[in-house]
A and B are shown apart, each in its own frame.
Chain A
């Protein structure tokens, strides 16, 4: 269930797969569960942020 409040999703630099933080927990260290690549980008949450323009 990627993207719900409180859960971060990541994007693998190499294979482009979207991974949620639960999938990462079972692995030793930070790596893509599909290709094993170690560079992952944290995706922006789909929640719209309200910011004061000050």
Chain B
């Protein structure tokens, strides 16, 4: 297998894996989405809320805020407390705010960490309060996975696709530029006396160019031996850390299959 980093801009990370079945790359994508454990708020204890939003709406919004940290936390299903919630499996964040003016927006940055977990983005609005209105609450965060609820899904985008192949027959091509206009991703361009593909990985295989060409000079297909994986992190872990974590989860799953098989052999 050969891996090349195609892009690494902020939260978005793209790799190309050559010589590997796309289903294997897809297994990593699905594991990142469903099985990598990250923290999120699961219980909210509201002491005061004189704003117009119901307690339930505020709790739901706080639950959806991406959280960082929590390295020392144990998954509640493996905790000695039996998942009831204790300092080993839960981290606390508090919010206490009184609006000094009308139309005062309370942002996620006001959630004060009391443990190892803190917010990944300080600019997420929680509620808008009028002067004198107050919110006081304690949020309990725990580890979970996207399989349980989407708030534990560490990525906002996770895409796998085959390598697109765009073949241009230069003898048939009349340089009419109809394909250049038809392409929704604008990946075709005429340079000098040639039609060129600027960025082949941006192709969505929509075949608009094939339909637009009057001479049938373009053909679009794909190569299933090479695959692209794009991850857009929500901020809990970096995309690279997510891939490593997904590989660990997959490794553990394969190990459990091996142990189960050995046990079955011994029993028979």
B45–A53 CB distance below 8 A: no
For chains A and B in complex, what number of residue pairs have CB atoms within 8 angstroms? 39
A44 to B62 Cα, complex, angstroms: 21
Interchain CB contact (< 8 A) of B42 among A44, A48, A52: A52
A49–B63 CB distance below 8 A: no
A: contact size bracket: under 10
B: contact size bracket: 20 to 34
Minimal beta-carbon separation of B110 from chain A (angstroms): 16
CB interface residues, B 3-59, toward A, < 8 Å: 40-50, 55-56, 59
A44 to B55 Cα, complex, angstroms: 11
Given the contacts A51-B56, A53-B139, A54-B63, A44 and B48 also touching, CB distance less than 8 Å:
yes
Interchain CB contact (< 8 A) of A49 among B41, B46, B50, B139: B46
Minimal beta-carbon separation of A43 from chain B (angstroms): 10
- Interface of B with A (CB < 8 Å)? 40-50, 55-56, 59-60, 62-63, 139, 149, 151
Smallest CB-CB A-B distances: 10 pairs: A53-B63, A51-B59, A53-B59, A53-B41, A48-B47, A51-B44, A49-B46, A48-B45, A53-B44, A50-B45
CB<8 Å pairs between A and B, sample of 30: A44-B48, A44-B49, A44-B50, A48-B45, A48-B46, A48-B47, A49-B46, A49-B55, A50-B43, A50-B44, A50-B45, A51-B43, A51-B45, A51-B46, A51-B55, A52-B42, A52-B43, A52-B44, A52-B59, A53-B40, A53-B41, A53-B42, A53-B43, A53-B44, A53-B59, A53-B60, A53-B63, A54-B60, A54-B63, A54-B149
